[in-house]
């Protein structure tokens, strides 16, 4: 975490602070202020900026005055980087210009009186309230009697609504707590000779207000005046303060404060103690509806006030430079985008090339391994063939005569084995051919066996073929008998004929004996020759 971030902590706004802001009319406008919840680091909603309770007490309110917007833009600082005393300096200056000089806030006059300085020490550099508005050392200005320190103001932070202005230089920069405060040359910007000449009358009027005996004007009187009339100088207003119309003025944000509350508030933002008196009015009557500007003076002062808006000219130059910088930035961004695309494409191509290189390496490695293994196998085979060839040649030279070997029992045995082997192969081929032709005839529903063991199983069946043959014969006899009985048109109860399980053996034998003469005639009719050994047992019924 950056050192600047360590300055922030959870906002600690008390009920006393809230009641004070309600009394000052700062809570009347809905949505103008939002309080943080439990966050310890600012996270303003859209269109809101970070400010402080003490900023509001010192004259700040929304929408923010264009002169303050211009100051922030010119100096390059954010609202939270200004101290409460700096905010009060701007509020007093605007009140001085509009109520006692009769001109709008004059930029050239501001540069003659004020400059910007860094707030900190050798041991610490602040980001919150890190810059202060200072009176130039060679200028005589009002003694504002600021307090030496405002205790705990950094802890009372909140969000104020920002209203967009018509031009960019009038808008407040979005909150950026990590942005470091950088000293700029604009912090020491001085009025040009032309601006000094044009504002000499205003400086003379300030000296006159300070030094007229019996009518001296002080910084405390100016502060007390804008607090008393209930107009926030740093709020954008339709009418300047020299047109202030009293209780019915449209710029008032609340009713009059009580004397006690007003004195307490003045002592809070100044170094006055309880013993010091609080001015009840200004010794110099401010310009208002009841004390209008003299017409010749008003015409001249208004010309002076509008002639040197100051930051507008500087803003125009900066805007031109900014436009050129944006143009260059756009060109660089385009080049960067193109470069980024080229980089991504190069990375993608490099990844593809790397993948192909890896695959090629793997293929080369695999191919090399295969070649090595194949070469080793070929070498082994060649070695064996060479060894066998050498042994064969050696034995041939020593023991054989290849043309007419004689008296070699091994050669004779091999010759006989080859002859009988050929005969056996021919016999097996003939047997296989015969089996292929005969097997479907005997076994029409079976697949031809591939081995002799499977062929043997076809003949060696587990069931009793004789029993099956007897059953088949009995079935044929019964079917023939039924056919003959049916043709004779005899009435037979076939359910009783089929129930042979309850018949006694003797009864069965007597019936068989009585049926023999007829069975011989039936078999003769059917063309079967009767067997000499008849069976008298009951038929097996499945």
Overall average pLDDT of the 254-281 stretch? 90
Q: Specify the pLDDT at position 364.
A: 79
Q: CA quadruple 256, 257, 262, 265: dihedral positive or negative?
A: negative
Q: CA quadruple 344, 349, 354, 356: dihedral positive or negative?
A: positive
> Six-digit token pair at 104?
């709008």
Which has the higher per-residue pLDDT, 393 or 339? 339
Tell me the three state secondary structure of residue 125.
strand
Which has the higher per-residue pLDDT, 109 or 321? 109
| pLDDT over 90 percentage in the chain | 37
When the pLDDT of each residue in the chain is averaged and rounded to a whole number, the result is: 81
Which has the higher per-residue pLDDT, 420 or 86? 86
Tell me the pLDDT band of 252, cut-offs 50, 70 and 90: very high
Is residue 220 a contact partner of residue 272, using CB atoms and an 8 Å limit?
Answer: yes
Is residue 231 a contact partner of residue 241, using CB atoms and an 8 Å limit?
Answer: yes
Overall average pLDDT of the 519-533 stretch? 66
- Cα 517 to Cα 434, 470, 512: the distances in Å are 48, 21, 10
Cα(381)–Cα(387) distance, integer angstroms? 10
Residue the block writes with tokens 């205003």: 202
What is the signed CA dihedral for 427, 428, 431, 432, rounded to 10 degrees? -150
Q: Specify the pLDDT at position 464.
A: 64
Is residue 78 a contact partner of residue 84, using CB atoms and an 8 Å limit?
Answer: no
Q: Specify the pLDDT at position 166.
A: 57
Spans of all domains in the chain: 4-309
Residue the block writes with tokens 């479907």: 440
> Six-digit token pair at 478?
């019964």
Does the pLDDT of residue 465 top 80, yes or no?
Answer: no
pLDDT digits (tens, 9 = 90+) for 375-431: 888 788 878 877 776 776 566 555 544 444 566 666 667 777 777 777 778 778 877
Q: What is the 3-state secondary structure (H, E, C) of 151-181?
A: CCHHHCEEEEECCCCCCHHHCCCCCCCCCCC
Cα(175)–Cα(105) distance, integer angstroms? 26
Cα(238)–Cα(437) distance, integer angstroms? 123
Q: Specify the pLDDT at position 311.
A: 47
Overall average pLDDT of the 286-296 stretch? 86
Backbone angles phi, psi at 48, to 5 degrees: -120, 150
Cα(339)–Cα(336) distance, integer angstroms? 5
CA angle 322, 323, 324 (to 5 degrees): 90
Mean pLDDT is lowest, of 62-71, 306-315, 417-426, 495-504, for: 306-315
- Work out the number of other CB atoms within 10 angstroms of the CB of residue 17: 17
Mean pLDDT is lowest, of 172-181, 189-198, 228-237, for: 172-181
Cis-peptide, bond into residue 63, ω within 30° of zero: yes
Which has the higher per-residue pLDDT, 56 or 448? 56
| pLDDT over 70 percentage in the chain | 80
Does the pLDDT of residue 291 top 70, yes or no?
Answer: yes
Tell me the three state secondary structure of residue 48.
strand
Does the pLDDT of residue 112 top 90, yes or no?
Answer: yes
Tell me the pLDDT band of 265, cut-offs 50, 70 and 90: very high
Does the pLDDT of residue 462 top 70, yes or no?
Answer: no
Which is nearest to 33 in space by CA: 14, 19, 53?
Answer: 53
Which is nearest to 428 in space by CA: 456, 452, 447, 460?
Answer: 452
Which has the higher per-residue pLDDT, 325 or 372? 372
Q: How many helices (H) and strands (E) does the chain have?
A: 16, 5
Which is nearest to 56 in space by CA: 232, 228, 224, 219?
Answer: 232
Q: Which of 93-102, 379-388, 428-437, 497-506 has the highest average model confidence (pLDDT)?
A: 93-102
> Six-digit token pair at 15?
């009920």
- Cα 451 to Cα 327, 410, 432, 459: the distances in Å are 94, 33, 10, 14
Q: Specify the pLDDT at position 400.
A: 47
Quote the radius of gyration of the chain (alpha carbons, Å). 62
Tell me the pLDDT band of 290, cut-offs 50, 70 and 90: very high
Mean pLDDT is lowest, of 13-27, 222-236, 282-296, for: 282-296
Does the pLDDT of residue 318 top 90, yes or no?
Answer: no
> Six-digit token pair at 150?
């405002």
Mean pLDDT is lowest, of 85-99, 207-221, 449-463, 519-533, for: 519-533
Does the pLDDT of residue 171 top 90, yes or no?
Answer: no
Is residue 512 a contact partner of residue 534, using CB atoms and an 8 Å limit?
Answer: yes
Cα(205)–Cα(99) distance, integer angstroms? 12
What is the signed CA dihedral for 57, 62, 68, 69, rounded to 10 degrees? 150
pLDDT digits (tens, 9 = 90+) for 468-491: 777 777 777 777 777 777 777 777
Within 8 A by CB and 6+ apart from 513, the residues are 536
What string of DSSP letters covers 10-46? -----HHHHHHHHHTTTTSSTTSEE---S-SS--PPT
Tell me the pLDDT band of 537, cut-offs 50, 70 and 90: very low
């Amino acid at each position: 975490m950056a050192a600047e971030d360590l300055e922030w902590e959870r906002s600690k706004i008390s009920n006393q602070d809230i009641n004070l802001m309600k009394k000052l009319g700062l809570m009347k406008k809905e949505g103008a202020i939002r309080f943080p919840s439990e966050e310890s680091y600012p996270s303003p909603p859209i269109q809101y900026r970070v400010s402080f309770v003490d900023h509001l007490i010192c004259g700040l309110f929304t929408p923010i005055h264009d002169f303050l917007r211009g100051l922030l833009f010119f100096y390059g600082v954010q609202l939270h980087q200004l101290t409460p005393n700096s905010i009060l300096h701007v509020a007093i200056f605007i009140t001085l210009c509009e109520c006692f000089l009769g001109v709008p806030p004059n930029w050239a006059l501001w540069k003659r009186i004020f400059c910007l300085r860094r707030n900190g020490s050798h041991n610490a550099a602040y980001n919150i309230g890190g810059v202060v508005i200072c009176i130039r050392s060679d200028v005589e200005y009002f003694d504002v009697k600021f307090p030496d320190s405002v205790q705990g103001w950094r802890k009372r932070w909140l969000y104020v609504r920002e209203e967009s202005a018509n031009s960019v230089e009038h808008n407040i920069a979005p909150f950026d707590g990590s942005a470091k405060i950088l000293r700029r040359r604009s912090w020491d910007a001085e009025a040009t000779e032309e601006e000094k000449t044009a504002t000499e009358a205003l400086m003379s009027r300030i000296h006159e207000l300070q030094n007229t005996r019996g009518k001296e004007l002080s910084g405390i009187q100016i502060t007390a005046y804008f607090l008393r009339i209930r107009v926030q100088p740093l709020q954008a207003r339709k009418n300047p303060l020299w047109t202030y119309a009293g209780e019915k003025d449209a710029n008032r944000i609340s009713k009059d404060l009580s004397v006690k509350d007003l004195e307490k508030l003045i002592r809070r933002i100044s170094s006055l103690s309880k013993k010091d008196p609080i001015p009840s009015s200004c010794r110099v009557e401010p310009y208002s509806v009841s004390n209008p500007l003299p017409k010749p003076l008003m015409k001249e002062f208004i010309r002076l006030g509008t002639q040197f808006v100051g930051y507008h000219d500087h803003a125009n130059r900066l805007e031109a430079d900014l436009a050129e910088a944006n143009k260059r930035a756009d060109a660089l961004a385009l080049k960067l985008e193109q470069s980024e695309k080229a980089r991504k494409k190069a990375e993608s191509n490099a990844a593809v090339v790397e993948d192909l290189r890896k695959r090629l390496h793997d293929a080369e490695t695999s191919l090399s391994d295969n070649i090595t293994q194949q070469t080793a196998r070929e070498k082994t085979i060649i070695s064996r063939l060479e060894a066998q060839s050498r042994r064969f040649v050696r034995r041939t030279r020593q023991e054989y005569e290849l043309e007419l070997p004689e008296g070699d029992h091994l050669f004779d045995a091999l010759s006989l084995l080859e002859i009988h082997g050929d005969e056996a192969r021919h016999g097996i081929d003939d047997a296989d051919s015969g089996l292929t032709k005969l097997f479907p005839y005997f076994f029409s529903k079976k697949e031809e066996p591939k081995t002799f063991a499977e062929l043997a199983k076809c003949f060696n069946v587990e069931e009793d073929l004789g029993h099956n043959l007897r059953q088949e014969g009995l079935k044929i006899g019964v079917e023939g008998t039924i056919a003959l009985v049916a043709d004779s048109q005899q009435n037979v109860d076939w359910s009783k004929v089929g129930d042979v399980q309850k018949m006694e053996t003797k009864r069965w034998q007597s019936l068989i004996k009585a049926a023999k003469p007829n069975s011989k005639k039936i078999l003769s009719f059917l063309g079967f020759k009767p067997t000499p050994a008849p069976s008298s047992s009951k038929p097996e019924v499945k």
